[in-house]
Amino acid sequence: MYKLTVDILLYLFYMQIVYHIHIILSTEMTDMKNANFPTDAEGRTYHLYLKHGETASRVITVGDVPRAIVFAQTPGFEVKFVRVAPSLFTTITGLYKGTPVTIITSLMGIPNMDFTIRELRYVCQGPMAVVRVGTCGSPAAKVGEVTVPTKFHTVLRLPDGFGPGAENATVEQQYYISKTMHGDDDLIKLLQEKRNRL
């Protein structure tokens, strides 16, 4: 835990030097309005601490800050804006070969992804293209394999399906598995073509 904290602080320090960013402290967030979807006086959202105009409509989400930095260092990417929110959600907006792109850390797990997408949707106008690049456990893929999923389920582990008294629990009592969801067909096709050329 100590090592991890030091690593995160080092990365933030590095980003401050390289990108001249201001890390927002939660003590600065004193003027939040609307407990249901809090924003400050300038319309900045609570978790990402972003307002209109600070993000592009093309978005790459990654799990952590080091990965965001790796994407930001892609040749041809010119950093224009960096924001580190108190929750450590980190947003880097810039131009990739002239096209506005936002790289954002969605951190870990479903609640953080929910904050990321809902608050991005709030600050971004018009259609959005969002691609999550990350790691995922799989019963089928090999370690290191790049996969482009075409359909998705939310899988939640149900606490009552495990532990004392749940020895005979069925899969349905152990997991909630949602109906199938689909990504954007055109975006998936483009990603598959790129993946095949790796």
Ligand X SMILES: *[C@@H]1O[C@H](CO)[C@@H](O)[C@H](O)[C@H]1NC(C)=O
Q: Please say which residue, 98 or 159, places its beta carbon nearer to ligand X.
A: 159
Cα 69 to Cα 17: distance, rounded to the nearest angstrom: 13
> From the CB of 167, what's the least distance to ligand X, in Å?
5
Ordered DSSP codes for 9-41? HHHHHHHHHHH---BPPGGG----B-SSS-B-T
> From the CB of 166, what's the least distance to ligand X, in Å?
7
Tokens read off for 38: 């809090």
> From the CB of 106, what's the least distance to ligand X, in Å?
38
> From the CB of 158, what's the least distance to ligand X, in Å?
16
Q: Please say which residue, 36 or 168, places its beta carbon nearer to ligand X.
A: 168
Footprint of ligand X (CB under 6 A) = 165, 167-168
Q: Please say which residue, 98 or 165, places its beta carbon nearer to ligand X.
A: 165
Q: Please say which residue, 127 or 165, places its beta carbon nearer to ligand X.
A: 165
Tokens read off for 176: 């909630």
What DSSP element (H or E) covers 151? strand 151-152
Q: Please say which residue, 42 or 167, places its beta carbon nearer to ligand X.
A: 167
CA atoms within 13 A on the CB side of 121: 7
Cα 197 to Cα 59: distance, rounded to the nearest angstrom: 22
Nearest residue to ligand X, by Cβ distance, number only: 168
* Contacts for 155 with CB less than 8 Å, ≥ 6 apart: 175, 176, 177, 178
> From the CB of 164, what's the least distance to ligand X, in Å?
8
